[in-house]
């Protein structure tokens, strides 16, 4: 029995050692290749776990999980395919410096051939039958000078910077869509609450009308009209609830929320910036990632021109060849070493280089025009956003006054109707005006907040913390 136990324990120990060795070999197989992916996946998993924990903790106090705007941002960052694709393009761009260095890296080539003659060769006054030959050579080619290397190397760095700016811009664009959907849910939810209040107002009018009808103070048509108002209010509630479901589905898709039903928290109200247009416009040009990407594209196109110009320069190569021949002729040896330096001067290639140079110069003009177009677009969008914000502020002040007056009118009209001093039509009109004023105030309030979000996007300051986190992660993944 003891021998059996020792045998089993040795087997367990042996299995543990084998598993440990396999794990070490697996980790050592490709640490450089998989380090960035492991870091990214770990960070993304932490983001999702943190967001889900927050939602679950809020769910404990109610029946549905509750997400804040920050949670929606984190979930979108973790799984949105457009953001992930932009991030992978940054990874691909990091390979460009290596591709540029390949141009001046040594090349090693091996060649082999077999020679067989099927008939004699006349050599002076006799015939010579060549013997079969097996030959081979090993060539080491080292480029010594390539004018195109310098602009290609610089271009690779510019491509990396440009891909990063596009990645950051993709984060802002995607999260802006999430924020829009989030605010649409908030607006739809308040419209549902307002629809419930509208039902309460019409139901109160119906109750008063029935009481007055029983007392003989009004005719039956007043009661029927009051019932019709309640029915319309319920239809309005149904439409508002359907709209809320639609907006939640949109947010669920944008933020990759997995819950079938959820609720959202109202974020703090945004405030307009207290700066003039010129200051804001300068900040926008300095911060907009798409504008920085356009700047990088101009630099890349300029370097393409330099690469095309460098193709007119001569190139210098050095090579070392080692030959082996198993059956050499009289003027050959069994093996020998040959070294050479070669200078190549391009003279004429049918006009290919000239056409490429013209093409790259035109591409440079196109890149500059695209940058100028974006410059003008930013200016127009900034002026439009500032104008809309001022318009919304004036409208909000007016709508708040309208709601206040509509509430007073409703209260006065309802009291007058109870005493017979106002008709049912007056009361219905007061209820309709109050509901319309409240609805307009709710819609305009969230349109104002979304316009403030749009202003931050135009300025390039939207979700700056998320972009900064992504930039820090890029530095860690790139390494020293």
Greatest mean pLDDT range, 18-27, 57-66, 215-224, 243-252: 243-252
pLDDT in tens, 390-409: 999 999 999 999 999 999 99
Q: How many residues does the chain have?
A: 480
Mean pLDDT over all residues of the chain? 86
* Whole-Å CA distances, 266 to 63, 64, 254, 269, 444: 18, 16, 18, 9, 16
Per-residue model confidence (pLDDT) at position 13: 45
Same domain, residue pair 47 and 158: yes
Per-residue model confidence (pLDDT) at position 47: 44
pLDDT in tens, 148-170: 999 999 999 999 999 999 999 99
- Half-sphere exposure of residue 166, counting CA atoms within 13 Å on the CB side? 21
pLDDT in tens, 435-469: 999 999 999 999 999 999 999 999 999 999 999 99
Per-residue pLDDT at 132 exceeds 60: yes
Q: Give the three-class secondary structure for 127.
A: strand
Decide which of 301, 322, 345 is a domain's last residue: 345
Lowest-pLDDT range of 50-54, 408-412, 420-424, 466-470: 50-54
Per-residue pLDDT at 27 exceeds 70: no
Residue with tokens 């500032």: 386
Same domain, residue pair 235 and 287: yes
With respect to residue 319, please indicate whether it lies within any of the assigned structural domains.
yes
Per-residue pLDDT at 172 exceeds 90: yes
CATH number assigned to the domain comprising residue 112:
2.20.200
Residue scoring higher pLDDT (99 or 377): 377
Greatest mean pLDDT range, 50-54, 269-273, 304-308: 304-308
Residue among 57, 75, 78 at smallest CA distance from 66: 57
pLDDT in tens, 217-274: 888 898 999 999 999 999 999 999 999 999 999 999 999 999 989 999 999 999 998 8
Residue among 305, 360, 352, 317 at smallest CA distance from 104: 317
Per-residue pLDDT at 34 exceeds 70: no
For the chain, percent of residues with pLDDT exceeding 70? 85
With respect to residue 268, please indicate whether it lies within any of the assigned structural domains.
yes
The sign of the torsion formed by the CA atoms of 10, 16, 20, 21 equals positive
With respect to residue 37, please indicate whether it lies within any of the assigned structural domains.
yes
Same domain, residue pair 126 and 38: no
Same domain, residue pair 299 and 322: no
Per-residue pLDDT at 55 exceeds 80: no
Per-residue model confidence (pLDDT) at position 331: 67
CATH number assigned to the domain comprising residue 422:
1.20.1600.10
Per-residue pLDDT at 381 exceeds 60: yes
Alpha carbon of residue 425 to chain centroid: 54
What confidence tier does 79 reach under pLDDT thresholds 50, 70, 90? confident
What confidence tier does 216 reach under pLDDT thresholds 50, 70, 90? confident
With respect to residue 38, please indicate whether it lies within any of the assigned structural domains.
yes
Per-residue model confidence (pLDDT) at position 480: 54
With respect to residue 19, please indicate whether it lies within any of the assigned structural domains.
no
With respect to residue 68, please indicate whether it lies within any of the assigned structural domains.
yes
Helix extents (H) in 94-219? 96-101, 149-214
Per-residue pLDDT at 119 exceeds 90: no
Per-residue model confidence (pLDDT) at position 186: 97
Same domain, residue pair 292 and 395: yes
Per-residue model confidence (pLDDT) at position 10: 46
Same domain, residue pair 62 and 82: yes
With respect to residue 3, please indicate whether it lies within any of the assigned structural domains.
no
Same domain, residue pair 334 and 462: no
Residue scoring higher pLDDT (14 or 342): 342
Per-residue model confidence (pLDDT) at position 330: 65
Alpha carbon of residue 328 to chain centroid: 65
Same domain, residue pair 138 and 245: no
Same domain, residue pair 177 and 263: yes
Per-residue model confidence (pLDDT) at position 177: 96
Same domain, residue pair 393 and 435: yes
Residue 222: which domain range? 33-94+148-311+352-478
Residue scoring higher pLDDT (125 or 198): 198
Residue with tokens 């080539």: 109
Per-residue pLDDT at 46 exceeds 60: no
Same domain, residue pair 324 and 435: no
Distance of alpha carbon 172 from alpha carbon 463, whole angstroms: 7
Count structural domains, the chain: 2
Instruction: Please state the rounded mean pLDDT for residues 322-331.
Output: 79
Per-residue pLDDT at 5 exceeds 70: no
Buried b vs exposed e over 422-459: b needs ≥16 C-beta within 10 Å?
Answer: bebebbbebbbbbbebbbbbbebbbbbbbbbbbbbbbb
With respect to residue 16, please indicate whether it lies within any of the assigned structural domains.
no
Same domain, residue pair 180 and 201: yes
């Amino acid at each position: 029995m003891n021998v059996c136990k020792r045998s089993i324990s040795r087997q367990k120990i042996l299995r543990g050692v084998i598993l440990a060795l396999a794990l070490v070999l697996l980790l050592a197989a490709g640490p450089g290749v998989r380090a960035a992916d492991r870091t990214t996946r770990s960070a993304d998993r932490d983001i999702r776990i943190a967001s889900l924990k927050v939602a679950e903790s809020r769910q404990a106090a109610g029946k549905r999980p509750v997400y804040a705007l920050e949670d929606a941002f984190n979930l979108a960052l973790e799984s949105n395919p457009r953001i992930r694709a932009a991030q992978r393009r940054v990874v691909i761009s990091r390979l460009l410096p290596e591709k540029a260095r390949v141009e001046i890296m040594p090349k090693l080539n091996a060649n082999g051939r077999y020679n067989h003659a099927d008939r004699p060769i006349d050599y002076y006054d006799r015939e010579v039958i060549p013997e079969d030959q097996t030959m081979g050579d090993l060539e080491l080619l080292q480029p010594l000078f390539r004018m195109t290397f310098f602009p290609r190397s610089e271009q690779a760095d510019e491509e990396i910077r440009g891909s990063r700016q596009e990645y950051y811009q993709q984060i802002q664009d995607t999260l802006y869509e999430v924020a829009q959907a989030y605010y649409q849910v908030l607006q739809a939810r308040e419209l549902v609450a307002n629809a419930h209040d509208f039902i309460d107002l019409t139901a109160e009018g119906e109750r008063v009308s029935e009481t007055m009808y029983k007392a003989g103070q009004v005719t039956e048509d007043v009661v029927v009209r009051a019932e019709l108002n309640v029915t319309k209010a319920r239809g309005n509630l149904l439409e508002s609830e359907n709209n809320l479901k639609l907006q939640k589905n949109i947010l669920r898709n944008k933020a990759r929320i997995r819950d079938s039903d959820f609720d959202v928290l109202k974020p703090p109200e945004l405030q307009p910036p207290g700066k003039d247009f010129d200051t804001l416009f300068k900040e926008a040009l300095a911060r907009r990632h798409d504008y920085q990407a356009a700047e990088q594209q101009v630099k890349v196109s300029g370097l393409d021109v330099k690469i095309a110009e460098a193709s007119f320069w001569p190139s210098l190569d050095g090579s070392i060849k080692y030959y082996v021949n198993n059956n050499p002729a009289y003027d050959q040896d069994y093996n020998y070493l040959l070294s050479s330096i070669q200078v190549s001067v391009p003279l004429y290639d049918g006009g290919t280089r000239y056409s490429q140079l013209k093409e790259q110069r035109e591409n440079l003009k196109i890149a500059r025009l695209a940058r100028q177009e974006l410059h003008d677009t930013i200016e127009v969008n900034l002026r439009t956003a500032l104008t809309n914000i001022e318009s919304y502020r004036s409208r909000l002040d007016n709508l708040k006054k309208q709601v206040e007056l509509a509430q007073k009118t409703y209260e006065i009209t309802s009291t007058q109707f109870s005493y017979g001093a106002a008709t049912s039509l007056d009361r219905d009109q007061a209820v309709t005006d109050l509901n319309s004023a409240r609805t307009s105030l709710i819609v305009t309030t969230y349109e104002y907040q979304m316009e403030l979000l749009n202003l931050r996007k135009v300025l390039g300051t939207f979700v700056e913390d998320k972009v900064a986190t992504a930039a820090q992660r890029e530095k860690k993944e790139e390494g020293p």
